[in-house]
Chains A and B, each alone.
Chain A
Amino acid sequence: MKRISTLLLMGIFIGTLLSLTGQAIGASSIAVTVDTPPRTMHPNGSNADANLSVMSNFFDGLLQRKGSEGKIVPALAERYEHPDLLTWKFYLRKGVKFHNGNPFTAKDVKFSFERLSNPEVSEFINTGKSIASIDIIDDYTVVIKTKQPIPWFANNLHQVYMMDKESTEARDEAEVGVKPIGTGAYKFVEWVKGSYLRMVANKDYWEGAPSIDNVELRAITEPSTRFAALVSGQSDLVSGIPVELYEKVVKNPKLEVVARPARRAIFMALGNEPGSPTADIRVRKAMYMAINEDEIIEKIMRGHAAPAAQIPDPPTIGYNPDISRLPYNPERAKELLREAGYENGFDITLAGPNDRYVQDEKIAEAVVKYLAKVGIRAKLDVKPKSIFFPEVSEGRHKFYLFGWFDGTYDMGRSYFKLIHTQDKEKGLGEWNAVFSDPSIDALLESTGSIVDQGKRRKVLQDLNKMAMVDKIAWIPLHYQQDIYAIQKGKGIKFQPRPDRWIVLKEISK
């Protein structure tokens, strides 16, 4: 026993000595805390924004989205042409080097796009499979042909990261998945899963070296711990401040809060199976008007949301400023129900996730209560997202809470997934097993070949109005708000992006 305690004491003593020699954090470093951990270092191994956000620091796409506007601008491709509906021609930037020193050329582009179809390393199977051919014209010119016209093809290219063909092929996949080599503004240093990810500035970055040298990124999933990390000064920049702790952060003199409207809209999908009460447009309208969205925003979201009248957000092509919310009017809702022959109400089940969106379960509970006030007996069925989402695409729910935003800033792709009549063969309507309207389908299909941005905007806006106003395809609720906090007095300049990514080269100190 005595021996053990001596050993222990010695251990502690040596440990203290060792820690004194540990490196001090220099002036140009930042500790960032996010709410969702990165899953993999395969650049295209996850299409979750939490992962793409981290990868955007190690890798570049052919194009990129910049700053608070999210405008798409050139990155590894200096420019591109779209000579016909199926063809995309990219002129690559010269003189770009991967972190291992290899030059970036057309063969890397071909390799990276071909990799997208491999489910072992990619979640961009949909993008990979939509490509018919990739031709290398010369070292710095690539032509990609898609199988079908995809008007939003280029809009998505900030998410498809370019990998080094040579080193990726030479290394074991397990190693590629933990040690990324890209062209990005930051080089990978160390990833201790569940703890931190360290990176260091790439001094030879083609856009110029980033302002901050050393970055330590941590993910803390537990909101109260994230809050403690912020208040105790361990973190310089924290994303995902929970709405219930917002007031506390604002009151803290050491902290600065940055909030911006999020792109994600929260809404309720509602089936229109012939014969069901919700097939009647009057019932759909009544349900819409029965919900007091202002109260949801005030009481449940604590003011951190903006009412939505449609699914796309303002910067998205297809957003229609002329659409406004139906007013909250339970009396009118009751009248409408009476007209439709449901003066005694009806039974319905409201499903939803309980671990996906801000206050998701509470919102669903509130909706159930609002519906009860007009006589609709709604049963609540909330469950974890890993169970809920598959059930949605199988069509097990007829009425459910959902959230969506499209990384391409083009409503077209989203509408094909969300509202087109489900067609397993053609791969349409994966997230819509319950709503079907031939006129929406027809108009939507006609947009598939419109590439001209002006025309596209017009048609998508019309389509949007048709879905939201004429058909009440969904009951929109609100856009969430993204809330960040930074330590004051450290000179950190940070502008949140619409997609919630933390792109470190855009942060300066």
Chain B
Amino acid sequence: MVTYITRRLMQGIVVLLAVSFICFIIFRYAGDPVHTLAGRYATFQEQEMVRKAFGLDKPFYIQYTRFLANAAQGNFGKSFVTRVPAFNLILERLPASIELATSAIIISFIVGVGLGVLVSLQPYAMRNRLVMAGSLFGISIPTFLIGILLIMVFCVYLGILPPFGRGETRMIGFWRTGFLTWSGITHLILPAFTLGMYQLAVLLRLTRAGMREVLTKEYIKTAWSKGLPPRKVIFKHALRNVLIPVITMTGLQFGELIAFALVTETIFQWPGTGNLLLTSIYESDQPVIVTYIMLAALIILSLNIIVDILYAYLNPKIRYD
């Protein structure tokens, strides 16, 4: 187990290096930040002065190694646009993204798995067939359309939910949370649902497929014939065995929901990291983009490793050597 984890960590570091390198190469083609930094009336000399001040006059490999050296010490450089450390900028936004992703994952897990179990019990009932057909929409309709439709219905026509932002928030230490106010929770509903929609549909289909397979197994028949109450048979004996791939899926998607909720965050003007990334790309704010992508890679890598380890716990048949 220990060797396995060490090996995974080493691989992780290589991946991070590769990601940062690719980022740097991409920036050569992503626009020259000096134009934004110097202002539109700056002369060429003034632009050169700015280029020097931000170290952008140095050749590629020097800029890259300098970035790596600084990053190793936790210094990711200052944002070109806001002129504050890029890492702080992202850290400030992270709670919003994590709260949104967590809510989305909880909604999709509870609703998805719950519906999946229900549907699997009577697969041919009309209403269950409708649910399955509906889940196809969840998979195939793009997020931005779901978001805009939800805004149209709930904010513009019905006027019962707010269309944008986080509402009132409270600070708990460094963590700005929207969970503690009513306004914060109402603001969360639509974006969380939009973000979790795809996930929900996938989990529903996964659970249903798994349940239908397991319910035909001999040990389930035994359980029924023993006269166990349905709740026990379904949840304890059947669902437990189905949950392994479901949890893997959930865990793997969680990282991506935090890191790439870009579209949802933009539509609902959610002040999370995805929103920040998009603005930074528009303004060619390179330090923020690099830091963000590195951080996203780090989150997804660590979640992958955690899922692999949990897997071994959930399923004793799996051993890593």
A residues apposed to B, CB below 8 Å: 11-12, 14-16, 18-20, 22, 37, 39-40, 42, 45-47, 119-121, 123-127, 129, 173-174, 177-178, 192-196, 218-222, 224-225, 228-229, 231-234, 355, 384-387, 389-390, 393, 413, 417, 424, 427-428, 430-431
Contact = CB atoms under 8 A, between A and B. Distances in A.
Nearest to A233: B159
B41 A224 contact: no
Interface residues of B, number: 66
Contacts of B168: 19, 22
B155 A16 contact: no
Interface string B253-294: 000000000000011110110011001011110000000000
Residue with the highest number of chain A CB atoms closer than 10 Å, among B29, B46, B93, B162: B46
B83 A234 contact: no
B267 A430 contact: no
Interface string B163-188: 11110111000001001111111000
B36 interface: yes
Given A14-B180, A126-B41, A224 B283 contact: no
B83 A45 contact: yes
A228 B164 contact: yes
Contact of B269 (A12, A19, A222): A222
B82 A40 contact: yes
Contacts of B42: 125-126, 430
B224 to A, nearest CB: 24
Residue with the highest number of chain A CB atoms closer than 10 Å, among B29, B50, B88, B276: B50
Residue with the highest number of chain B CB atoms closer than 10 Å, among A45, A219, A221, A232: A232
18 contacts: A15-B182, A19-B181, A19-B184, A40-B82, A119-B50, A121-B83, A192-B169, A193-B92, A194-B96, A194-B271, A194-B275, A195-B165, A195-B271, A225-B267, A229-B163, A234-B163, A428-B43, A430-B43
Given A18-B180, A417-B40, 18 more contacts: A15-B182, A19-B180, A19-B183, A37-B279, A40-B83, A46-B81, A125-B42, A174-B85, A192-B271, A193-B89, A194-B276, A220-B269, A224-B148, A384-B282, A386-B281, A390-B34, A424-B45, A430-B43
Interface string B4-44: 00000000000000000000000001111011111111111
B219 interface: no
Contacts of A220: 164, 269
A232 to B, nearest CB: 5
B313 interface: no
A232 B163 contact: yes
A386 B284 contact: yes
B136 interface: no
Contacts of B184: 15, 19
Nearest to B159: A232
Nearest to A424: B44
Contact of B164 (A46, A234, A428): A234
Given A15-B181, A15-B182, A120 B159 contact: no
Nearest to B165: A195
Residue with the highest number of chain A CB atoms closer than 10 Å, among B163, B165, B170, B271: B163
Contacts of B283: 39, 386
B66 to A, nearest CB: 17
A224 B282 contact: no
A390 B84 contact: no
B81 to A, nearest CB: 5
Given A126-B41, A390-B32, A427-B45, A232 B156 contact: yes
A129 B83 contact: no
B268 A225 contact: yes
A18 B31 contact: no
A393 B35 contact: yes
Nearest to A426: B43
Contacts of A14: 180
B269 A221 contact: yes
A26 to B, nearest CB: 15
Contact of A16 (B30, B162, B182, B279): B182
B49 interface: yes
A424 B41 CA distance: 13
Contacts of B166: 195
Given A177-B84, A225-B151, A228-B151, A125 B163 contact: no
B53 interface: yes
A413 B41 contact: yes
B162 A232 contact: yes
Nearest to B92: A193
A225 B269 contact: yes
A22 B185 CA distance: 14
Contacts of A387: 29-31
A15 B93 CA distance: 21
A177 B45 contact: no
B137 interface: no
Contact of B44 (A127, A193, A219, A427): A427
A271 to B, nearest CB: 19
B190 to A, nearest CB: 10
A46 B276 CA distance: 18
Given A225-B164, A234-B162, A42 B83 contact: yes
B164 A174 contact: no
Interface string B83-106: 111001100110010000000000
A119 B41 contact: no
Contacts of B176: 192
A288 to B, nearest CB: 26
Contact of A47 (B39, B53, B88, B162): B39
A233 B54 CA distance: 44
Contacts of A417: 40-41
Contact of A39 (B50, B53, B81): B81
Contacts of A390: 31-32, 34-35
B68 to A, nearest CB: 23
A389 B35 contact: yes
Nearest to B148: A224
Contacts of A225: 151, 163-164, 267-269
B8 to A, nearest CB: 29
A234 B152 CA distance: 14
A420 to B, nearest CB: 12
A389 B283 CA distance: 12
A245 to B, nearest CB: 11
Nearest to B81: A39
A19 B44 contact: no
B123 to A, nearest CB: 26
